[in-house]
Protein backbone atom coordinates (compact mmCIF):
# COMPACT_ATOMS: atom_id res chain seq x y z
CA UNK A 1 0.00 0.00 0.00
CA UNK A 2 1.41 3.37 -1.04
CA UNK A 3 1.24 6.57 0.94
CA UNK A 4 -1.99 8.50 0.41
CA UNK A 5 -4.14 5.51 -0.53
CA UNK A 6 -7.11 4.85 1.74
CA UNK A 7 -6.65 2.03 4.18
CA UNK A 8 -9.71 -0.21 4.14
CA UNK A 9 -8.93 -1.43 7.64
CA UNK A 10 -8.84 2.11 9.12
CA UNK A 11 -12.11 2.71 11.12
CA UNK A 12 -11.49 6.46 11.13
CA UNK A 13 -11.22 6.88 7.44
CA UNK A 14 -13.95 7.74 4.94
CA UNK A 15 -16.34 4.99 3.88
CA UNK A 16 -15.55 3.05 0.78
CA UNK A 17 -16.64 4.70 -2.42
CA UNK A 18 -16.25 8.29 -1.15
CA UNK A 19 -13.25 10.30 -2.31
CA UNK A 20 -10.83 11.30 0.38
CA UNK A 21 -10.94 14.92 1.42
CA UNK A 22 -14.57 15.55 0.31
CA UNK A 23 -16.88 16.67 3.20
CA UNK A 24 -19.50 14.16 4.22
CA UNK A 25 -23.06 15.17 3.27
CA UNK A 26 -25.57 15.43 6.16
CA UNK A 27 -28.30 12.79 6.09
CA UNK A 28 -31.44 13.80 4.27
CA UNK A 29 -34.59 13.89 6.39
CA UNK A 30 -36.74 10.88 5.88
CA UNK A 31 -40.45 10.35 6.34
CA UNK A 32 -40.10 9.63 10.02
CA UNK A 33 -38.40 12.90 10.95
CA UNK A 34 -39.89 16.40 10.84
CA UNK A 35 -38.12 18.77 8.53
CA UNK A 36 -36.60 21.76 10.25
CA UNK A 37 -37.40 25.11 8.66
CA UNK A 38 -34.53 27.59 8.19
CA UNK A 39 -34.06 30.09 10.96
CA UNK A 40 -36.39 33.07 10.62
CA UNK A 41 -38.87 31.27 8.34
CA UNK A 42 -42.18 30.23 9.96
CA UNK A 43 -42.77 26.52 9.88
CA UNK A 44 -45.63 25.46 7.63
CA UNK A 45 -48.24 23.01 8.97
CA UNK A 46 -47.69 19.44 7.90
CA UNK A 47 -50.04 16.98 6.34
CA UNK A 48 -51.53 15.77 9.61
CA UNK A 49 -54.95 16.58 11.03
CA UNK A 50 -56.36 20.01 10.05
CA UNK A 51 -56.18 22.66 12.69
CA UNK A 52 -59.54 23.30 14.32
CA UNK A 53 -60.77 26.91 14.44
CA UNK A 54 -60.86 28.56 17.87
CA UNK A 55 -64.01 27.82 19.81
CA UNK A 56 -66.04 30.84 20.81
CA UNK A 57 -67.32 30.63 24.33
CA UNK A 58 -71.01 31.23 24.85
CA UNK A 59 -71.98 31.77 28.42
CA UNK A 60 -75.71 32.06 27.72
CA UNK A 61 -78.13 34.72 28.84
CA UNK A 62 -78.33 38.22 27.53
CA UNK A 63 -80.35 39.57 24.66
CA UNK A 64 -81.01 37.10 21.87
CA UNK A 65 -79.31 38.00 18.60
CA UNK A 66 -81.91 39.49 16.29
CA UNK A 67 -81.59 41.26 12.96
CA UNK A 68 -82.35 44.94 13.19
CA UNK A 69 -81.15 45.36 16.78
CA UNK A 70 -78.05 47.17 17.94
CA UNK A 71 -75.24 45.84 20.09
CA UNK A 72 -76.93 42.44 20.26
CA UNK A 73 -80.12 43.96 21.65
CA UNK A 74 -83.38 43.34 19.74
CA UNK A 75 -85.60 46.31 18.86
CA UNK A 76 -88.01 47.55 21.47
CA UNK A 77 -91.63 46.52 21.26
CA UNK A 78 -94.00 49.26 20.15
CA UNK A 79 -97.02 50.52 22.04
CA UNK A 80 -99.63 48.68 19.97
CA UNK A 81 -97.94 45.34 20.37
CA UNK A 82 -97.60 45.83 24.11
CA UNK A 83 -101.23 46.89 24.38
CA UNK A 84 -102.42 43.84 22.42
CA UNK A 85 -100.40 41.52 24.67
CA UNK A 86 -101.81 43.17 27.79
CA UNK A 87 -105.34 42.89 26.42
CA UNK A 88 -104.89 39.19 25.61
CA UNK A 89 -103.53 38.47 29.09
CA UNK A 90 -106.48 40.32 30.59
CA UNK A 91 -108.89 38.11 28.64
CA UNK A 92 -107.07 34.94 29.69
CA UNK A 93 -107.33 35.92 33.35
CA UNK A 94 -110.61 37.84 33.29
CA UNK A 95 -112.82 35.38 31.40
CA UNK A 96 -112.49 32.46 33.88
CA UNK A 97 -112.80 34.89 36.77
CA UNK A 98 -115.89 36.54 35.33
CA UNK A 99 -117.59 33.26 34.43
CA UNK A 100 -117.16 31.82 37.91
CA UNK A 101 -118.28 35.04 39.58
CA UNK A 102 -121.31 35.14 37.28
CA UNK A 103 -122.29 31.60 38.18
CA UNK A 104 -122.00 32.39 41.87
CA UNK A 105 -124.15 35.49 41.50
CA UNK A 106 -126.80 33.53 39.58
CA UNK A 107 -127.00 30.81 42.23
CA UNK A 108 -127.01 33.20 45.15
CA UNK A 109 -127.10 32.25 48.80
CA UNK A 110 -124.29 30.47 50.57
CA UNK A 111 -123.41 28.29 47.58
CA UNK A 112 -123.23 31.31 45.32
CA UNK A 113 -120.92 33.09 47.76
CA UNK A 114 -118.64 30.05 47.92
CA UNK A 115 -118.46 29.92 44.14
CA UNK A 116 -117.69 33.64 44.04
CA UNK A 117 -114.81 33.10 46.45
CA UNK A 118 -113.51 30.36 44.18
CA UNK A 119 -113.67 32.79 41.26
CA UNK A 120 -111.64 35.35 43.19
CA UNK A 121 -109.02 32.74 44.07
CA UNK A 122 -108.84 31.64 40.46
CA UNK A 123 -108.29 35.23 39.34
CA UNK A 124 -105.55 35.77 41.94
CA UNK A 125 -103.89 32.46 41.05
CA UNK A 126 -103.85 33.26 37.35
CA UNK A 127 -102.47 36.73 38.06
CA UNK A 128 -99.63 35.32 40.17
CA UNK A 129 -98.93 32.69 37.53
CA UNK A 130 -98.68 35.45 34.93
CA UNK A 131 -96.12 37.30 37.07
CA UNK A 132 -94.19 34.07 37.60
CA UNK A 133 -93.99 33.34 33.87
CA UNK A 134 -93.01 36.89 32.98
CA UNK A 135 -90.40 36.92 35.75
CA UNK A 136 -88.79 33.60 34.84
CA UNK A 137 -89.22 33.48 31.05
CA UNK A 138 -90.15 37.06 30.11
CA UNK A 139 -93.45 35.97 28.57
CA UNK A 140 -97.00 35.01 29.45
CA UNK A 141 -99.63 34.06 26.89
CA UNK A 142 -100.09 37.56 25.49
CA UNK A 143 -96.41 38.43 25.12
CA UNK A 144 -95.65 35.00 23.68
CA UNK A 145 -98.42 35.33 21.09
CA UNK A 146 -97.23 38.83 20.08
CA UNK A 147 -93.53 37.87 19.96
CA UNK A 148 -92.30 40.19 22.72
CA UNK A 149 -90.52 39.60 26.01
CA UNK A 150 -90.04 41.46 29.29
CA UNK A 151 -86.34 41.59 30.27
CA UNK A 152 -83.92 43.49 32.44
CA UNK A 153 -82.46 46.50 30.68
CA UNK A 154 -78.94 45.95 32.02
CA UNK A 155 -78.23 42.44 30.71
CA UNK A 156 -81.30 41.17 28.87
CA UNK A 157 -82.10 38.45 31.40
CA UNK A 158 -85.50 37.68 32.95
CA UNK A 159 -86.09 39.87 35.98
CA UNK A 160 -87.34 37.16 38.36
CA UNK A 161 -90.67 36.74 40.11
CA UNK A 162 -89.87 39.24 42.87
CA UNK A 163 -89.06 42.10 40.51
CA UNK A 164 -91.99 41.17 38.28
CA UNK A 165 -94.25 41.62 41.31
CA UNK A 166 -92.58 44.96 42.16
CA UNK A 167 -93.10 46.08 38.56
CA UNK A 168 -96.77 45.15 38.84
CA UNK A 169 -97.09 47.36 41.92
CA UNK A 170 -95.18 50.14 40.13
CA UNK A 171 -97.90 50.26 37.49
CA UNK A 172 -99.79 52.33 40.05
CA UNK A 173 -97.54 55.21 38.98
CA UNK A 174 -98.55 54.60 35.36
CA UNK A 175 -102.20 55.10 36.31
CA UNK A 176 -101.58 58.56 37.78
CA UNK A 177 -102.17 61.71 35.76
CA UNK A 178 -104.83 60.24 33.45
CA UNK A 179 -102.93 56.99 32.79
CA UNK A 180 -100.06 58.89 31.21
CA UNK A 181 -97.55 56.21 32.14
CA UNK A 182 -99.41 53.56 30.14
CA UNK A 183 -99.24 55.79 27.05
CA UNK A 184 -95.60 56.77 27.53
CA UNK A 185 -94.14 53.93 25.37
CA UNK A 186 -95.86 55.47 22.32
CA UNK A 187 -93.17 58.20 22.11
CA UNK A 188 -90.46 57.09 24.51
CA UNK A 189 -87.09 56.21 22.92
CA UNK A 190 -86.94 52.90 24.81
CA UNK A 191 -90.71 52.28 24.69
CA UNK A 192 -90.87 52.17 28.49
CA UNK A 193 -93.71 52.88 30.88
CA UNK A 194 -92.99 54.65 34.16
CA UNK A 195 -92.96 51.23 35.85
CA UNK A 196 -90.32 50.05 33.37
CA UNK A 197 -88.15 53.05 34.15
CA UNK A 198 -88.54 52.52 37.89
CA UNK A 199 -87.63 48.81 37.66
CA UNK A 200 -85.08 49.16 34.80
CA UNK A 201 -86.93 46.81 32.48
CA UNK A 202 -87.63 46.83 28.73
CA UNK A 203 -90.01 44.95 26.45
CA UNK A 204 -88.29 43.79 23.26
CA UNK A 205 -89.25 41.91 20.12
CA UNK A 206 -88.09 38.31 20.10
CA UNK A 207 -90.08 36.88 17.21
Closest CA to 174 of 94, 108, 82, 58: 82
Percent of the chain with pLDDT over 70: 64
How far the first Cα of the chain sits from its last, in Å, is 99
Contact 177, 84 (CB under 8 A): no
Which residues share a beta bridge with 148?
Answer: 205
**DSSP secondary structure code for residue 147 in this structure:** T
Across 166-174, average pLDDT: 96
CA angle centred on 186, ends 183 and 189, rounded to 5°: 120
pTM value is: 0.65
Half-sphere exposure of 73 (CA within 13 A, CB side): 17
DSSP state of 70: B
Q: What is the pLDDT of residue 140?
A: 97
Q: How confident is the model over 58-73, as pLDDT tens digits?
A: 334 555 544 433 345 7
What is the H or E stretch that residue 152 is in?
strand 148-152
Under 8 Å between Cβ of 64 and 74:
yes
What single DSSP character describes residue 125? Answer: H
- pLDDT, one tens digit per residue, over 147-157 is 999 999 999 99
Angle at 157 between CA 154 and CA 162, to 5 degrees: 95
Amino acid sequence: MSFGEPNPNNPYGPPPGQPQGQPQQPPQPGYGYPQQAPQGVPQQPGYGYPQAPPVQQNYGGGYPQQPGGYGGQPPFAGWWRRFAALLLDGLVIGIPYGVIIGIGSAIGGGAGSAIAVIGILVGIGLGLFKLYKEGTTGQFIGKKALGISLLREADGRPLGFGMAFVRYLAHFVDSLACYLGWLWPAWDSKKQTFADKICSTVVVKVG
